[in-house]
Structure 1
Amino acid sequence: MKRLPTYFLSHGGGPWPYLTGALREHYRPLEASLKALARELGSKPRAVLMVSGHWEASAFTVMASPHPSMVYDYAGFPEHTYHVEYSAPGSPELAARVKHLLEAAGIEARLDANRGFDHGCIAPMAVMYPEADVPVIQLSLQIGYDPQTHFALGRALAPVRDEGVLIIGSGLSYHNLREFGAQAKVASEAFDAWLQQTLVHSPPDARTQRLLQWAQAPSARRAHPQADHLIPLMVAVGAAEDEAAACIYHEQDFFGGVTASSFRFGQMR
């Protein structure tokens, strides 16, 4: 079985794949990148392991339901978006495997049989696999957003890449809702330039060290006042720590001024 790459995806806002009209048009470049990702992979993965910026817990927690429900964790969208269903199955088997791997690495892990899909998961999945025919489980972040802890999480998860499981860290490369659109232009450009240099143009050991010190990057805390949408990146990198990175989505006018990017780590084999 081929080893799958890992990804950090900028997932956009709320239930955007289920929108229509002008608001939906903002997402055409991101949508194209997600469709290209699925084509690049070729055959569908056995399952997807999603680490979303919209779920955190005191200890790493794994979704364990065979039929996950929905978490409508957004506000201000049309009424129909609070009734959409992404009906992909879960995978209790994979959840147990993930828990075992984490515990073997000395990382506390729990199972949650009730957790449903949040929009950090369903937004990219609804575009990549609209038929909802690929099993999906989510894995929480740990409260505190410690980069080293999440790198360790990624390292512990790496074996599932050889088992047909696609690891995705889902967040946003820029996430400051108080400074969005044109207000975000300078800060998002500066932070994205640092991300490109760190992820794509730095050797793996330097990449890790730069990411561990991400808060010292240009405009870091303007780009991420809270680190929830950046920390999934650490998991994706940790699971492919010695492998090359590529930028698979880059937009400089997202919602009128935001520079946003997504990245792949490792190659198809």
Structure 2
Amino acid sequence: MTASSATAARLPTYFISHGGGPWPWMKAEMGNTYAKLEAALADMPHQIGRKPAAVLMVSAHWEAPAFTVQAAAQPGMLYDYGGFPAHTYQVHYRSPGAPAIAARVQALLQAAGLPAAVDTERGYDHGMFSPMQAIYPQADVPVLQLSLRRGLDPAEHLALGRALAPLRDEDVLIVGSGLSYHNLRAFGPQAAAPSKAFDDWLGQTLASASAPRSQALVDWEQAPAARIAHPREEHLIPLMVAVGAAEGERAARIYHESDFMGGLSVSSYRFGAAAGDAA
């Protein structure tokens, strides 16, 4: 493959909302609550233009002392939620894992001087399997998860993304899975103003592809309503990985609602070109 064709084939990265718990299996209970999110997730394969070799999913629901990559050939399921209907503890997303790519991830992180480990036991959490049920419902693309690192340092997670960037030329899709607003104690109408303030800031910040974008994300706590939107930032930090892996590339908002759950402004983003975009 030539350098020019490799660049043309480079996959984008994503920061997506993964929604609440096992929502794809609760349509009878939730109606159209997630219809817009589901449509946006289902459109991702069209944006990518081909089936990737694997998906590397960085979920808000896994933190570890070192960046830890899931290395099982067939991960099980981790029902990391409570209070949902009994049938949601029996759902399965049966995509294969990707042990060889896990080894590649570990090597990239070690080469970048980042702490790296592997885990052959941990199953898929809902930050992975709920959105993947909408993105690839046939579960026919290998998926491996990569943890956040405890401490949730935004600069370190941007560095993680930079270290992972070569995977984009190796047909691995990098997805940060979280939420642009995550305050479970402030949903509904009371969240309308702070979620909009933070969402507006996020959109304006991500619109720039220059170096100040990354610095603004490091300093995200200075954003309007930052700590109302994210009392704890684990659902925001996967964004840093997606941005770090596509630094200098433009963002496109692929999903937005301004009245989600009765008042929330929420968004998801792609970084880098979609299939068919002009160079």
> TM-score when scaled to structure 2?
0.94
Q: Which residue of 1 aligns with 2:187?
A: 180
Report how many residues are paired: 268
Deviation at 1:22, TM superposition (A): 4.8
Deviations 1:196-231 (A, max 9, x none): 00002x242111111010000000000000000000
Q: Name the SS of the counterpart of 2:61 in structure 1.
A: coil
Q: 1:26 and 1:220 mapped to 2: Cα distance? A: 25
Say yes or no: does 1:7 pair with 2:23: no
Say yes or no: does 1:158 pair with 2:154: no
Comparing 180-189 with 57-66, which one deviates more in the overlay? 180-189
Aligned pairs for 1:29-178 (under 5 A) are 29-178=36-185
Q: Which residue of 2 aligns with 1:234?
A: 240
Q: 1:233 and 1:54 mapped to 2: Cα distance? A: 14
Q: Quick one: which amino acid aligns to residue 79 of structure 1? A: A
Cα 1:203–1:90, aligned 2, differ >3 Å: closer, same or farther? closer
CA contact (8 A) 1:3 1:268 kept: no
Q: 1:208 and 1:225 mapped to 2: Cα distance? A: 21
Q: 1:22 and 1:86 mapped to 2: Cα distance? A: 20
Q: Which residue of 1 aligns with 2:218?
A: 212
Q: Quick one: which amino acid aligns to residue 228 of structure 1? A: E
Q: Name the SS of the counterpart of 1:77 in structure 2.
A: coil
Q: Which residue of 2 aligns with 1:258?
A: 264
**RMSD (Å), alpha carbons:** 0.9
Q: 2:209 and 2:15 mapped to 1: Cα distance? A: 18
CA contact (8 A) 2:181 2:266 kept: yes
Gaps of 5+ in 2: 1-5
Q: 2:203 and 2:144 mapped to 1: Cα distance? A: 29
Q: 1:166 and 1:152 mapped to 2: Cα distance? A: 17
Deviation at 1:21, TM superposition (A): 2.3
Q: Name the SS of the counterpart of 1:140 in structure 2.
A: strand
Deviations 1:35-57 (A, max 9, x none): 11122212111100000000000
Q: 2:221 and 2:185 mapped to 1: Cα distance? A: 18
> Percent sequence identity over matched residues?
62
> TM-score when scaled to structure 1?
0.98
Q: Name the SS of the counterpart of 1:53 in structure 2.
A: strand
Comparing 39-48 with 63-72, which one deviates more in the overlay? 39-48
Q: Which residue of 1 aligns with 2:249?
A: 243
Runs of 4+ in 1 over 6 A off after TM superposition: none
CA contact (8 A) 1:68 1:117 kept: yes
Q: 1:203 and 1:59 mapped to 2: Cα distance? A: 29
Deviations 1:75-133 (A, max 9, x none): 11110000100000001000000000000000110000001100000111000101001
Deviation at 1:63, TM superposition (A): 0.2
Q: Name the SS of the counterpart of 2:252 in structure 1.
A: strand
CA contact (8 A) 2:209 2:249 kept: no
Q: 2:66 and 2:42 mapped to 1: Cα distance? A: 33
Q: Name the SS of the counterpart of 1:139 in structure 2.
A: strand
